[in-house]
Amino acid sequence: MRIRVLSSSLSSKKHVYFKHDAASFLCLCLDLFLTKVFYWRARLIRFPLYCRGSKHVDFGSNLTTGRYCRIDALSMNSSSEGDAGPLLKIIFGSSVQIGDRVHLASGYRLVIGSKTLIASNVFITDHDHGSTDYEALSIEPAERRLLCADVVIGESCWIGQNVCILKGVHLGNNSVVAAGAVVTRSFPPFSVIGGIPARLLKSIS
């Protein structure tokens, strides 16, 4: 009796796994089809992907994304100097890979270097909702003037889970950002950084 029950249980689990694998395979096929239709230069876009201002985004080549990513390329006149900035707000290098629920927001210029890998739940922005003086804080947050400074993530960088990278940051090639870090300033190539705010943990020479 035990053998029959165990055999039935295993058979049931195999059936569930098969259905799950089949559904995953069909989703992958659909994602590949939609990728080649809408983002033909990309390697694989896992949908849904939310993108505002796609005409201001250069998706590069061989881009891979996770699901539920959000890309905001703001075309408004939002820089602190009063100019609208470059036409392309977000630029991907080649073979960039980003995980699930990554949010990229640019009002001026945000560059992600080739072969950079970004984990899930990462937020990268090149703008703030105004300054922190009394006059600015007296205005509703949504009505404040955006202050922008370009963000450049170098090539072959590894950005860990739940990282925030804020305006004005230039991260050198081959750098590593530890999970949960909040990056508020720039670092040279081959830097290992972490913490809130992020600080240099190790420099590779």
Q: How many structural domains does the chain have?
A: 2
Query: Which pLDDT score is estimated for 79?
Result: 43
Same domain, 91 and 170: yes
Q: What is the mean pLDDT of residues 37-53?
A: 96
Query: Which pLDDT score is estimated for 87?
Result: 84
Q: What is the mean pLDDT of residues 7-23?
A: 60
Q: What is the mean pLDDT of residues 34-49?
A: 96
Same domain, 177 and 128: yes
Torsion of CA 77, 125, 115, 75, to 10 degrees: -20
pLDDT confidence bin for 75, thresholds 50/70/90: confident
Same domain, 32 and 80: no
pLDDT confidence bin for 15, thresholds 50/70/90: low
Same domain, 24 and 48: no
Same domain, 158 and 179: yes
Same domain, 136 and 150: yes
Same domain, 6 and 102: no
Same domain, 29 and 123: no
Same domain, 110 and 57: yes
pTM over 0.75: yes
Q: Which domain holds residue 31?
A: 1-38
* Whether the predicted pLDDT of 156 surpasses 80: yes
* Whether the predicted pLDDT of 38 surpasses 90: yes
Active site residue 129: yes
Same domain, 2 and 53: no
* Candidate list 20, 127, 129, 170, residue with the active-site label: 129
Is-contact 31 46, C-beta < 8 A? Answer: yes
Q: What are phi and psi of 86, to 5 degrees?
A: -70, 160
Tell me the CATH number at 104. Answer: 2.160.10.10
* Whether the predicted pLDDT of 53 surpasses 50: yes
Same domain, 7 and 102: no
* Residue 2 Cα distances to 7, 8, 14, angstroms: 8, 10, 18
Same domain, 13 and 97: no
pLDDT confidence bin for 92, thresholds 50/70/90: very high
Query: Which pLDDT score is estimated for 24?
Result: 86
User: What is the separation of C-alpha 31 from the centre of its chain, rounded to a whole number of angstroms?
Assistant: 18
